[in-house]
Amino acid sequence: MYFVYILHSEKFSWHYVDHCKNCESRLSDHNRGKVKSTKAYVAWSIIYTEQFQTKFEAFRREMEIKSYKGG
């Protein structure tokens, strides 16, 4: 299983969209500053997840969501 997730940083009013195999582990990575693109905006919470059978499906959905906000 793969997941698309949306994170929210309340402190900075920032959102981040990505895909992964394990949302809990990935959230932990984000909040420990292990993800370069999000470490400046800690602390994160997951506000949305969507499950897919394949990585390709998850990636396609991630790109679709990102297109809604202009990239």
Q: What is the pLDDT of residues 9-31, one digit of tens each?
A: 999 999 999 999 999 999 999 99
What is the topology classification, in CATH, of domain 2-68? GIY-YIG endonuclease (3.40.1440)
CB count in 10 Å sphere of residue 42: 14
Q: Which residues fall within 8 angstroms of residue 64, CB to CB, at 6 or more apart?
A: none
DSSP conformation class of 14: E
Distance in angstroms (rounded) separating the CA atoms of residues 57 and 28: 24
pLDDT in tens, 30-54: 999 999 999 999 999 999 999 999 9
Instruction: Show me where the domains of the chain are located.
Output: 2-68
Confirm if 42 and 30 have CB atoms less than 8 A apart: yes
Q: In 1-71, which ranges are continuous DSSP H helix?
A: 23-31, 55-68
